[in-house]
Amino acid sequence: MNLVQERFLVTGATGFVGACLVRKLASLGCEVHALVRPGADRWRLEGLAGKLHWHVSDLTDSERLGEIVSSVAPTAIYHFATHGAYPHQTDADQIILTGVFGTWNLLKACAAVDYKLFVNIGSSSEYGNKEFAMRETDPLAPRITPAFLEYAQARDLHIKEAVVDGREDDTAVAERSLRTFPAVRREDVVEIHFGDSHVGAWGAINE
């Protein structure tokens, strides 16, 4: 599959991980659409003028979000946007509104377009505090609000499949959650592919 024939929509594109993906896709010549919140600092994506399409919306604004997704008609969506990742982001209401309801709004908007891939990004915090090396098969035990939020986002995907799509499996499109880790060994890194094309690599567990 030729990546330059796809349209990528990346939420949270100005964040640390989101910006890395955007830069990689732009370097490959892909059509990249960055969805950012109003007032977002774009310094991580400086120097990409002419290689990136900007779209401004809060995930809680379902009407505006729907308009953007409809106009872009992405074939692949990477959902990095969140609130609560930084120590100063402690407003529990805003964390839930952005992560749970914002993710739900994005899924509903994407249900109206013919996409091939939806990737939701979580983190190792969903497994809770461990005294041993985590494994993919470990039960999820989020102990803090942001971690619970990531868990809820992953559940949004399954609810959307049944309620919005009316299906019980994931054969029609690929919808997955990746849990990122801050530091990993090389053998723990997951290579990300879209069709036959390599997109990048992250320390992650594929749900």
Order across the sheet with 174-180: list the strands: 53-56, 31-36, 7-11, 76-79, 117-123, 174-180, 197-206, 189-194
> Average pLDDT for consecutive 10-residue bins of the chain (207 residues)?
88 93 94 96 93 96 97 96 82 85 92 91 76 78 59 53 47 61 49 51 40
How many C-beta atoms surround the C-beta of residue 200 within 10 A?
17
pLDDT of residue 77: 95
Helices 145-163 and 102-110: angle between axes, nearest 10 degrees: 30
Residue ranges per domain, the chain?
3-206
DSSP labels for 119-178?
Answer: EEEEEGGGG---SS---TTSPP---SHHHHHHHHHHHHHHHHHHHTS--SSSSSSEEEEE
- Quote the CA–CA distance of 127 and 87 in Å, as a whole number: 19
Q: What is the reported pLDDT for 190?
A: 45
pLDDT at 42: 95
β-pair type (117-123, 76-79): parallel
Angle 200-17-102 from CA coordinates, rounded to 5°: 115
- What pLDDT sits at residue 95? 83
Per-residue DSSP letter, 16? H
pLDDT of residue 150: 55
What CATH homologous superfamily does 3-206 map to?
NAD(P)-binding Rossmann-like Domain (3.40.50.720)
Q: How many CA atoms lie within 13 A of 55 on its CB side?
A: 25
